Amino acid sequence: MKTITPDRLDQFFSSLEPVWELRLPILLPDGTRVIGSLNDGPLALHGGAVSGKPTAAFFPQQSTLFTVTDGAMQEPPPADRPLFIVGFPPRDLACLRFIDRFFADGWRDDLYFRLRQRATVAGLSGYCGPGGSLISPAGGDCDLEFFWDRSNWLVTAYSETGRKIIAGLPETATPEAAELFLQVPAEFPDKNETLIRHASELLRTNRVPESFWAEIGDRCIACTGCNLACPTCTCFGVQDWRSAKKTERSRMWDSCQLDGFMREAGGHNPLGSEAERTRRRIHHKLAADPQKWGEISCFLCGRCDAVCPTGIGIIAVARELVARFR
Amino acid sequence: MTRTLTVCPYCGVGCTFYLVSDKGRLVGVEPSTTHPVSRGGLCVKGWNAYAFVHHPDRLTTPLIRRDGQLRPASWDEALNLVVERLQAVQAKHGKDAVMFASSAKATNEENYLLMKLARAVFGTNNIDHCARLCHSSTVTGLAETFGSGAMTNSISCFDQTDVILVIGSNTTEQHPLIGSRILNAVRGGTRLIVADNRRIRLARHAELHLRHKNGSDVALLNGIMHVIIAEGLADREFIAGRTENYDALAESVADWTPERTAAATGLTADEIVAAARLYAGAERAMVVFSMGITQHSHGVDNVRCIAALAMLTGNVGRPGTGVNPLRGQNNVQGGCDMGALPDLYSGYQKVADPRLRDKFAHAWGVSSLPAEPGLPLTRAMDAASEGRLHGMFIMGENPMLSDPDQGHARKVLENLELLIVQDIFLTETAAVADIVLPAACFAEKEGTFTNTERRIQRLYKAVEPPGKARADWEIICDIAERAGYNGMRYTSPAEIMAEAASLTPIYGGIAYQRLAAHGLQWPCPDKEHPGTPIMHLDRFTRGLGHFSPVVHRLPAELPDAEFPFVLTTGRTYFHWHTGSMTRRTHLLAREEPHSFIELHPDDAARLGIRHRDMVLVSSRRGEVRTEARVTDMVIAGVLFMPFHFVEGAANALTNNVLDPESSIPEFKVCAVRVEKMP
């Protein structure tokens, strides 16, 4: 296990820039924390999960699929340098693992893997959660992991690339520090975990009446933020922009909370009411995905609850649902 | 990957977000988690605000009409021609033969400059903008009663109130992040009254939903005030200490018994009494209103009643209270503040006042400024058809679709001697222009917008404008220079704001370095002033609040045998005005792809019209084909239609009858007929 002192972090990351395109947790001018470039704000590793889905690095809100100019098709050029992304707490790593499976299944999503395959991902854990709270280490699911022990960053590599990146760092000063990393339970039990499993169980056993979804749907303003902030939401729409000489096809994040998402050309819509769309949003994560993928696809990152203007993110809905129908 | 903080270009709530760009192209948005208004959230338009910016339809070069066709030209050619032709029209027909239409989509600095260009360079007060079509009734009505036409309180007040009366505002659709606060407040125990005959989302959460007849707001509000006075619920102390002319108001509502009000509004007497008791019984109550109040031939009267209701119950000048007009456009508050109005300089300083004319003339380095108030935008079309107006310079507006009585507007715009349009897309209006100037959009320039709660906020440049497009402020300065005026040389929008602030007392303390991430709320008279979240704290801007009694007048055009339905018009959640941006945003356009009209199931059954049938809707002005949406959103006898769509344009039907004081058109009531297409 390696170690790095906080004062050497900037220098360490800068030294990687010739090879990697760096994306790190940064603090933007108004205090918003995101994964971004150091040109946009200072490094901000503390504070837990950043706002905005970290998986956007591989699946941006909008991306060009190809352009056709005078009959010749061109794909976007590959990036100059592969991505090196720091800032995935274990829950975000779980999200990434989930969408890696999703995008690889059946036809493989070339656009996603063009960015994902070359990328190096670093986890973030230790006493760097909100207010200095503990984030348990992931212990894998990434190339390397940074663990804040309240004085230094302990760094462990899980892949060959990870080992190469941290090769030049000194070994951990004290065995106690390394011990601390290992001692922290790998599981992260929390009450939301229990809650979401309970909600999933209620849905799968069909114990939630339609009237509940009508009530929640009444509070949905169709902002689509829940989907756009969710690291495991993968739906996208496709558009063509045509001008005299060029056609550009791109894709953008879509949302199952929109009427147009499922509306058929003739106008019929199997998800034609807010109640049905809201039901689908929660069902998909808590009932359909466990059936298809063997796991609930909400990893409790809290982003949909944070962006929802009316308080009906998945954790809030699960809480109401469990309180009323358990 | 770069992130640039900016302000949403859609409604007046003023959410901020980061534009995410990659190699000079926008690829998304990310909400600000610290902003006091948006608090980490956005509405669907905000989440998609990046998506139209690089659309291939963007204007990239100046265009000049030659041989009937708009053809590309250089900036030199276009701007020299702009000046030459504006001057020629003025030489031939007089200074006031031209009109400048400013834009609530443009920045404060650009609105200030266009008003300066009209007045100082072209010597006319013919400058106005689309506030004329939305809240001119508010500005007039609240200036008379309170002394200031803006929202009295702050958006944060929705978290601190006991009762909210929403009248004529579909808040969750048109001001979604304020509508959300109302929904949250209701869940926290705040009681809600919705007065609007459409079954809007808020109505589903309201304790009282008053579905009163279109255009009967004065009767409803007078009736409510009658009950408040009759039941001793008025705030006598507030009335005595803070207001004047109460006796005249009391007398004017004395006859508005619940029974009479019920007859005039279509409500029951019990509903009116319940609304009065609920609103007046609250320790803190807010009124929220929007176009449902203002866009009537008696819009100013509606606003006077709302102001009176708030004063009658002492609901002004405290947190969680107030009269809260929600401004529609991202910068319609700023457009007004910056004096893009025919009778006012920036800061609501009257052009009729010789002292103020001298102040502005001196600052702008001109010998004199015109004294007569200019034309309101809504009178421009008539002035042109009567031969009093021959040229228009339109910045970022699309009157061909947004003005009432489209047939008339089209005829006038096509027949103008000179039409210049500065915009980001070739709108329906730009398509008939003589000269088209390509402008930068919100993501491509710097400046400030002022939101509905008077918060002045900065936008920052994220990407370069397409082709030869330039920021509106740069184009205006260039025109001034070519017209021989050297008083518009600025190196940045910050300098323009410094000048505007020096001449505008309510913006006196505004400077870019003070605005940081969350801006400042005016009035902010000096550099140390912290801004004003709540107005009229100890005294009204005019001193005492003035009760203005109002006589109920009916809308100008009511249904009859030939045109038996009331048509009311508005917007949908997914589109913005004439759709130039949202119809070019994939997800928004997919959501509402075409024109429609809402029709009550009983009416539909009687007329043999089914959901999604094509129907023909006709009024005395015109007819349109559109798709029927059979829904209980509307009451029987009333139809609703959005005005976004060029095919099936609601404004082909609307009535260009104006409020006599504010010149706002009666978009909310006209008489139509609807029939199934064969």
Closest CA–CA distance from residue B251 to any residue of chain A (Å): 42
Residue B384 has pLDDT above 60, yes or no: yes
pLDDT at A186: 47
Q: Are B451 and B37 in contact (CB under 8 A)?
A: yes
Nearest residue to A272 via CA among B203, B644, B625, B611: B611
Per-position DSSP letters for B397-426, written without gaps between them: --HHHHSSSHHHHHHHHHH-SEEEEEESB-
pLDDT at A139: 87
pLDDT at B355: 98
pLDDT at A1: 87
Fold of B89-133+330-454+467-519: Rossmann fold (3.40.50)
Q: How does DSSP classify residue A104?
A: H
Residue A279: burial class (beta carbons within 10 Å; 0-12, 13-18, 19+): buried
Q: Which of B47, B187, B592, B631 to mutate to probe the A interface, most A CBs <10 Å?
A: B47
H/E stretch holding B323 reads: strand B322-325
Contact B179 A29 (CB under 8 A): no
Q: Which of B50, B183, B204 to mutate to probe the A interface, most A CBs <10 Å?
A: B183
Residue B404 has pLDDT above 70, yes or no: yes
What interface predicted TM-score (ipTM) does this complex get?
A: 0.96
Closest CA–CA distance from residue B94 to any residue of chain A (Å): 43
In sequence order, the 6+-apart residues with CB closer than 8 A to the CB of B74 are: B62
Q: Which of B15, B33, B45 to mutate to probe the A interface, most A CBs <10 Å?
A: B33
Superfamily of domain B136-326: Dimethylsulfoxide Reductase, domain 2 (3.40.228.10)
Nearest residue to B106 via CA among B521, B400, B520, B439: B439
Q: Which of B584, B586, B613 to mutate to probe the A interface, most A CBs <10 Å?
A: B586
pLDDT digits (tens, 9 = 90+) for A240-299: 999 888 999 999 999 999 999 999 988 899 999 999 999 999 999 999 999 999 999 999
In sequence order, the 6+-apart residues with CB closer than 8 A to the CB of A22 are: A13, A16, A37, A38, A84, A86
Q: Are B597 and B626 in contact (CB under 8 A)?
A: yes
Range of the domain at A195: 191-325
Question: Which chain A residues touch B31 with a CB distance below 8 Å?
Answer: 32, 51, 225, 307
SS3 B373: coil
Q: Does any CB of chain B come closer than 8 Å to the CB of residue A63?
A: yes
Measured between alpha carbons, how far is residue A215 from residues A64, A286, B289 in Å? 38, 19, 26
Q: For residues B170 and B159, what is the distance between their CA atoms, to the nearest angstrom?
A: 19
A170 and A70, same structural domain?
A: yes
Q: Tokens 């309170």 belong to which residue? A: B146
Q: Indicate the residue of B33, B34, B43 with minimum beta-carbon distance to A221.
A: B43
Distance of CA B403 to the CA centre of its chain: 13
Pairing of strands A21-27, A62-69: unpaired
SS3 A153: strand
Question: Which chain B residues touch A63 with a CB distance below 8 Å?
Answer: 27
Q: Does any CB of chain B come closer than 8 Å to the CB of residue A255?
A: yes
A164 and A224, same structural domain?
A: no
Q: For residues B655 and B135, what is the distance between their CA atoms, to the nearest angstrom?
A: 18
Distance of CA A3 to the CA centre of its chain: 27
Q: Indicate the residue of A52, A224, A241 with minimum beta-carbon distance to B56.
A: A241
Q: Indicate the residue of A51, A246, A255 with minimum beta-carbon distance to B33.
A: A51
Q: For residues B590 and B570, what is the distance between their CA atoms, to the nearest angstrom?
A: 19
Q: Point out the domain boundary residue: A166, A183, A200.
A: A183
Contact A34 B29 (CB under 8 A): no
pLDDT digits (tens, 9 = 90+) for B35-92: 999 999 999 999 999 999 999 999 999 999 999 999 999 999 999 999 999 999 999 9
pLDDT digits (tens, 9 = 90+) for B229-271: 999 999 999 999 999 999 999 999 999 999 999 999 999 999 9
Query: Which tops the pLDDT comparison, B466 or A170?
Result: B466
Pairing of strands A83-88, B391-395: unpaired
pLDDT digits (tens, 9 = 90+) for A92-106: 999 999 999 999 999
A213 and A118, same structural domain?
A: no
Contact B33 A32 (CB under 8 A): yes
Query: Tokens representing B642?
Result: 């959005």
Q: Whole-angstrom distance between the N-terminal and C-terminal Cα of chain B?
A: 55
pLDDT digits (tens, 9 = 90+) for B429-460: 999 999 999 999 999 999 999 999 999 999 99
A196 and A90, same structural domain?
A: no
φ, ψ for residue B345, nearest 5 deg: -85, 180
Query: Tokens representing B478?
Result: 């260039």
Contact A61 B183 (CB under 8 A): no
Q: Within chain A, which residues score under 50 in pLDDT? A: 186-187
Q: For residues A63 and A76, what is the distance between their CA atoms, to the nearest angstrom?
A: 9
pLDDT at B517: 83
Find the mean pLDDT for residues B401-421: 94
Closest CA–CA distance from residue B215 to any residue of chain A (Å): 28
From the CB of residue A47, how many other CB atoms can be counted at a distance below 10 Å? 17
Q: Does any CB of chain B come closer than 8 Å to the CB of residue A69?
A: no
Q: How many CB pairs under 8 A join A and B?
A: 136
Same fold, B136-326 and B565-676: no
Nearest residue to A305 via CA among A296, A297, A315, A295: A315
Contact A36 B3 (CB under 8 A): yes
CA atoms within 13 A on the CB side of B428: 21
A118 and A221, same structural domain?
A: no
Q: Does any CB of chain B come closer than 8 Å to the CB of residue A223?
A: yes
Closest CA–CA distance from residue A128 to any residue of chain B (Å): 19
pLDDT at A170: 86
Q: Point out the domain boundary residue: A146, A164, A183.
A: A183
φ, ψ for residue A5, nearest 5 deg: -80, 150
Provide the domain count of chain A: 2
Range B278-301 burial, b when 16+ CB lie within 10 A, else e: bbbebebbbbbbbbbbbbbbbbbb
A204 and A154, same structural domain?
A: no
Q: Point out the domain boundary residue: A158, A183, A208.
A: A183
Contact A252 B587 (CB under 8 A): yes
A97 and A240, same structural domain?
A: no
Contact A60 B3 (CB under 8 A): no
φ, ψ for residue A183, nearest 5 deg: -75, -30
Domain regions of chain B by residue span: 89-133+330-454+467-519, 136-326, 565-676
Question: Which chain B residues touch A37 with a CB distance below 8 Å?
Answer: 1-2
SS3 B628: strand
Closest B-chain CA to A251: B586
SS3 B385: helix
Question: Which chain A residues touch B179 with a CB distance below 8 Å?
Answer: 221
In sequence order, the 6+-apart residues with CB closer than 8 A to the CB of B94 are: none
Q: Indicate the residue of A39, A239, A307 with minimum beta-carbon distance to B31.
A: A307
Measured between alpha carbons, how far is residue B267 from residues B197, B223, B309 in Å? 10, 11, 19
Query: Tokens representing B637?
Result: 């006898």
Q: Does any CB of chain B come closer than 8 Å to the CB of residue A62?
A: yes
Question: Which chain A residues touch B32 with a CB distance below 8 Å?
Answer: 28, 30, 32
A170 and A77, same structural domain?
A: yes
pLDDT at B542: 96
Closest CA–CA distance from residue A136 to any residue of chain B (Å): 25
Nearest residue to A254 via CA among B17, B180, B586: B586
Contact A221 B205 (CB under 8 A): no
In sequence order, the 6+-apart residues with CB closer than 8 A to the CB of B609 are: B599, B603, B615, B628, B630, B674, B676
Q: Indicate the residue of B42, B187, B587 with minimum beta-carbon distance to A237.
A: B587
pLDDT digits (tens, 9 = 90+) for B134-176: 999 999 999 999 999 999 999 999 999 999 999 999 999 999 9
pLDDT at A188: 53
pLDDT digits (tens, 9 = 90+) for B613-647: 999 999 999 999 999 999 999 999 999 999 999 99
B565-676: CATH number: 2.40.40.20
Question: Which chain B residues touch A36 with a CB distance below 8 Å?
Answer: 1-3
Question: Which chain B residues touch A243 with a CB distance below 8 Å?
Answer: 56-57
Q: Are B572 and B641 in contact (CB under 8 A)?
A: no
pLDDT at B543: 97
Q: Does any CB of chain B come closer than 8 Å to the CB of residue A77?
A: no
Closest A-chain CA to B179: A221
SS (H, E, C) A163-211: HHHHCCCCECCCHHHHHHHHHCCCCCCCHHHHHHHHHHHHHHCCCCCHH
Q: What is the overall mean pLDDT for chain B?
A: 97
Closest CA–CA distance from residue A30 to any residue of chain B (Å): 5
